[in-house]
Structure 1
Amino acid sequence: MQTPKKIALALMLPFLASATTFSHADETDAKKQPAKQVLLISVDGMHQADLDWFVTAYPQSTLARMVREGVSYTNARTPFPSDSFPGMVGQLTGGNPKTTGIYYDDAYSRGLLPAGTTSCAGAKLGAEVYYAEVSAKDMNRLDSGQQIPGLYSDFTKISQLTGHAQDLLDPKTLPVDPKTCSPVYPHQYLQVNTIFEVAKQHHLRTAWSDKHAAYDILNGPSGKGIDDLFAPEINSSVTDPSTPAGPGDDWTKDNANTQKYDAFKVKAVVNWAKGFDHAGNNSLGAPAIFGMNFQAVSTAQKLNKSNYYTDPQNPSTIMTNGLGGYTLNGAVPGPVLQSALTFVDDQLKTMVGALDLSKTVVILSAKHGQSPQNRTALTIINDGDMIDALNCAWENNSASCKDPAQTHLVAHAIDDDGILMWLTDRSTKATRFAKNFLLAYAGTGVGSDALGNSISKPFTQAGVTKIYAGEEAEDLFGTRRGDERVPDVVGIAQQGVVWAGGKLSKIAEHGGNAHQDRHVPIVVWGAGIAHQANDDHVETTQIAPTILSLLALDPRELQAVRIERTKALPDLH
């Protein structure tokens, strides 16, 4: 079965990351059941080009085996914005942000009240919605504040972490519902159900592992979709934060540490595959849907320099101060990234070894890619200065225009390699002002030479190629007029532009609409899957109905599939 010809039209509309042209999965698809279990793996940051390179360089690898024996979709795209939250939510609901309501892990809602609000009557609406490490009871601890005894002297004790991630969240950090004056947990913020909830309705077991307790969002609105959610905090301190020295660097600042962190989650997946809970206890049977995300590739792409392993199985092979990212103008992974890719492949081999491949299908993809691959294309723009300048221009350079305690035009912004702004004034006058100001904004940013040294880089137009403002932004996402969550200003980055501080703090980012942000692999391999290479345009949102079809469940039980008519991936008959 081929994707309809009209899908080609989507290639001409890269800004509209929508699957609305797809019809629902055929009923005949849902009646077939090649699998009893589906293992979903997200290798965050992995481009299709990374997979192609690795399979060519390592033809005997597990990744090469998956591509050689399974169905490989070489023209897949993530939702826009290409952030972790919409990326993962899309894979597990079948929906884009206009339907799920999830635009970013750090976003804004005009229908909620700020975290900590206790008196809701008459309170002014509008709140940052930040579901990440800051939501934990203790963001500096790997166990998010569960206080596992002896954890920082023996990290294997992280297996004692609760599988009910909601218990690790601090309600005081969460936005507040004005109707109930109660905190809004991540799962309550999601507007549609997930494949985990569908599975639970059919009395199937589910499990997942991810990087923050805030991935409680994947439980879906019921809050009960995942039986075992193992979520060690990746942005926690690698060293004991209770020492007099306080918290140290987190697990993302050194790729060798990121690999150690990912290995905690791999152990949980292996235990699930063997029929236990994430700690290896209680014989419960393998989940029908389970999986995890890898972070090692993502941090290897972003770090300017890092320690890395030349042999992921041998900790004594650690090398220091290697270049992150790519070499040869972005064509070949550098030493840190090669180490990370090799690590992921090695861990996949371990997971596959625990599976019964006669009844398991493995799906590999990515929440997002990363841009730029060529570090010499990088231009870092200080977004704090940019937002201050916009607010001051709107306020005629008043004395308080940079005072964070004051109310300004920009209510909230998140700018990684795309600009998303929510304004306090949504009028045409205000959105047009913001757009025109940014298009005229110029200055000097920070770049990198080929050796990882900081250099000056001029920029114009705030680093964007195009800005959507007001109704243009609503139309970009396909939302209704006056949507409470949609950004008021959206900037599409020039190639290589990253908004951060004033230093060479990273060499790549995600969140934008660049080809390198969104062109990720999808590989489906395992029970009942025959080899095929497919270059049709597909979306990672199609993973959700595909998983349900593989389990002989009806994809139309997903609300987003019905709304957007998201179709299961082709060529899996």
Structure 2
Amino acid sequence: MFRRPARPVTAAAAALAAVGGLTVTATAATPTPATSTSAHSPAHVARHVLLLSIDGLHQSDLAWYVARHPRSALARLATGGVEYTHARTTDPSDSFPGLVGQLTGGNPGTTGIYYDDGYSSALLPAGTTHCAGAEPGAEVDFTEDLDRNKDSIDAGQGLAGLPGSILKMTGVARGLIDPSKLPVDPKTCKPVYPHSYLKVNTVFNVARKAGLRTAWSDKHVAYEILNGPSGNGVQDLFAPEINSQAIGYPAGMDWTKDNAATEQYDGYKVKAVLNEIDGYDHSRTHKTGTPAVFGMNFQSVSTAQKLPASEGLTGGYAAKGVPGPLLAKNLAFVDQEVGGFLTELRMQHLDGSTTVILSSKHGQSPTDPKALTRIDDGPLLDGLNAAWKKAHPGAGDLVAHSVDDDAMLIWLNDRSQAATAFAKAYLLAQSGTGNDIAGKAKPFTASGLKTLYAGAAAARYFHVEPGDSRVPDLFGIAQYGVVYTGGKSKIAEHGGAHADDLDVPLVVSGAATPHGVRVSGPVETTQIAPTILRLLGLNPRALDAVRVEHTATLPVR
């Protein structure tokens, strides 16, 4: 990483150390003036917080880029604010729990959000209309499948002139969700929307209650979950569908299958945020004032890591932790767009009152191309069901639902100790042949798993009681390099618990923060939520998850 010459530790840096007993290095060219203000009571607050998630980005990727581009926008953020070099995201390292953690302060056991596609043994299947006596157990799918039309970038709104007209997409995403695709609450016999499935409130809820404006941009309309239990947290939610048909590209290709397409897609969200910086809603139709809390996710780093090749460039990593040509190109794209935000903030005279927080919902694994082992999980699950039926004549499938990326999350129809033990023993006994980075045969053992938590052990892993209606009955941590996929179309994934999945960047830069400080002690991305409230002069304990988990604010001053 690019490092300026070390300077004496300033009062601001000393305050950082006082918060969490962390190792702090001050690297600012100009020392921060001394202040008697405590770490928990900043001398001044920000008026705006811009949160940016660069999905898939590792701290090592940021360090690699900054070292080679010391005058870049990413370098200005990393070296000009507070950089936390040992930040970890939620486990499982999926987009939904990752972002929910950043904006609630809670981990999956508290928020109830384990993945974007999960399961609940307490809800009824989507489409249930006669609830009395219905058998509970339902997939909880918060992916593109909820859209009224998942093949259209406007999720079914029916805009003309797409994709150029996408900024006209509504900021009230709930209306673009097909209620017939939602699980059903047996008590009310009504669909459960994402926001009401979330167990805790969000930063947006607290900000709204304080009379502040809120906005967010993300990849599915299901991100209306950020509205929180009250249903009104995000005033302007711009959520074009990333898994829709990429207009102008070959039929059947969505915006993630070509990195140029993903950059184009990200560009729409960038325009939305620029409009918000300028004091408009995302469409630039209504003058609303710059939000107090707003931001977006970038998806294109993630696709540059996953795709074997795109735009004539090799994807992923050239060697362990070394970005290959496509990823290096995309990091430059993201840097340019982040630079655009910093420029616009300065032009609108908001740079002195805005704090920018940069992080990632999740990392991506493996960063070592030689470690890749792709395994088709379909035969493993089919084999488990077949073995269960053979051992229990007349029984149905044991597996109720499963999500396998570079981890295994499995929910069972029979949640007994005997059933979870049976599933664990079966999976750990399976060996077979997958394929490597070149598509050549590569053997695997234990279903590609390093560790498999089952039943009560899985519940303890997530700090919930056994029998919790949402916790997976089995949670498997894959061997390093294992990606569960039936084909050869991707070379990395997330969801697991390896360092490549969890170690993400975290930078806080701008108003109400010191400059040129590096914090090397461990922090978690759930600490972003209370920190946002602290920066805005609001009470972090207004967040439910902060009170439950005692989530600390990041050491910002």
* TM-score exceeds 0.5: yes
Letter in 2 for 1:514: H
Matched with 2:407 is 418
Q: Determine what percentage of the aligned residue pairs are the same residue.
A: 55
1:566 corresponds to 2:551 = yes
**How large is the RMSD of aligned CA atoms in angstroms?**
1.9
2:86 aligned counterpart, secondary structure: strand
Residues 140-539 of structure 1 aligned to structure 2 (within 5 Å): 140-151=151-162, 155-239=163-247, 248-307=252-311, 320=312, 322-327=313-318, 329-355=319-345, 356-396=350-390, 407-448=396-437, 453-501=438-486, 503-530=487-514, 531-539=516-524
Matched with 1:115 is 126
Letter in 2 for 1:545: P
Distance 2:320 2:308 in 1: 14
1:127 corresponds to 2:138 = yes
2:547 aligned counterpart, secondary structure: helix
1:411 aligned counterpart, secondary structure: strand
Distance 1:100 1:27 in 2: 30
Letter in 2 for 1:280: R
Distance 1:209 1:5 in 2: 32
Any conservation in 2 of the 1:30–1:555 contact (CA below 8 Å)? Answer: no
Question: For structure 1, which segment, 88-97 or 419-428, has the greater mean C-alpha deviation from structure 2 after superposition?
Answer: 419-428
1:85 aligned counterpart, secondary structure: helix
Quickly say closer, same or farther: Cα 1:330–1:30, change in 2 above 3 A.
same
Letter in 1 for 2:17: Q
Any conservation in 1 of the 2:19–2:39 contact (CA below 8 Å)? Answer: no
Any conservation in 2 of the 1:392–1:398 contact (CA below 8 Å)? Answer: no
Runs of 4+, deviation exceeding 4 Å: 3-8, 397-401
Distance 1:3 1:77 in 2: 21
Quickly say closer, same or farther: Cα 1:184–1:382, change in 2 above 3 A.
same
2:541 aligned counterpart, secondary structure: helix
Tell me how far 1:481 sits from its aligned partner: 2.5
Query: What does the per-residue CA deviation read over 1:12-59, in whole Å, with 9 as the maximum and x for residues that have no partner?
Result: xxxxxxxxxxxxxx9972564331000000000000000000001111
Distance 2:381 2:22 in 1: 38
Any conservation in 2 of the 1:27–1:554 contact (CA below 8 Å)? Answer: no
Any conservation in 2 of the 1:33–1:551 contact (CA below 8 Å)? Answer: no
Letter in 1 for 2:336: D
Any conservation in 2 of the 1:442–1:460 contact (CA below 8 Å)? Answer: yes
Quickly say closer, same or farther: Cα 1:339–1:400, change in 2 above 3 A.
farther
Letter in 1 for 2:261: N
Distance 1:110 1:496 in 2: 32
1:42 to 48, 53, 56: 53
Distance 1:88 1:283 in 2: 28
Matched with 1:18 is none
Tell me how far 1:283 sits from its aligned partner: 1.3
Distance 1:157 1:359 in 2: 32
Quickly say closer, same or farther: Cα 1:483–1:47, change in 2 above 3 A.
same
Quickly say closer, same or farther: Cα 1:145–1:400, change in 2 above 3 A.
farther
Question: For structure 1, which segment, 82-91 or 472-481, has the greater mean C-alpha deviation from structure 2 after superposition?
Answer: 472-481
2:242 aligned counterpart, secondary structure: coil
Quickly say closer, same or farther: Cα 1:495–1:289, change in 2 above 3 A.
same
Distance 1:34 1:386 in 2: 53
Distance 2:75 2:225 in 1: 33
1:396 aligned counterpart, secondary structure: helix
Letter in 2 for 1:265: K
1:77 corresponds to 2:92 = no
Query: What does the per-residue CA deviation read over 1:474-516, in whole Å, with 9 as the maximum and x for residues that have no partner?
Result: 1101102221000011111100001111x21210000000100
Distance 1:375 1:429 in 2: 39
Distance 2:295 2:400 in 1: 36
Tell me how far 1:281 sits from its aligned partner: 1.9
Count residues in correspondence.
524
Distance 2:252 2:457 in 1: 43
Show structure 1 runs of 5+ residues with no match.
9-25, 308-319, 402-406
Question: For structure 1, which segment, 424-433 or 538-547, has the greater mean C-alpha deviation from structure 2 after superposition?
Answer: 424-433
Tell me how far 1:110 sits from its aligned partner: 0.6
TM-score of the pair, normalised by structure 1: 0.89
Distance 1:559 1:27 in 2: 24
Distance 1:254 1:79 in 2: 28
Matched with 2:9 is none
Quickly say closer, same or farther: Cα 1:86–1:27, change in 2 above 3 A.
farther
2:204 aligned counterpart, secondary structure: helix
Matched with 1:87 is 98
Any conservation in 1 of the 2:512–2:535 contact (CA below 8 Å)? Answer: no
Quickly say closer, same or farther: Cα 1:209–1:5, change in 2 above 3 A.
closer
Distance 1:189 1:431 in 2: 26
Quickly say closer, same or farther: Cα 1:436–1:271, change in 2 above 3 A.
same
Tell me how far 1:523 sits from its aligned partner: 0.3
1:108 aligned counterpart, secondary structure: strand
Tell me how far 1:441 sits from its aligned partner: 0.5
Tell me how far 1:150 sits from its aligned partner: 2.0
Any conservation in 1 of the 2:300–2:330 contact (CA below 8 Å)? Answer: yes
Matched with 2:26 is none
Any conservation in 2 of the 1:187–1:219 contact (CA below 8 Å)? Answer: yes
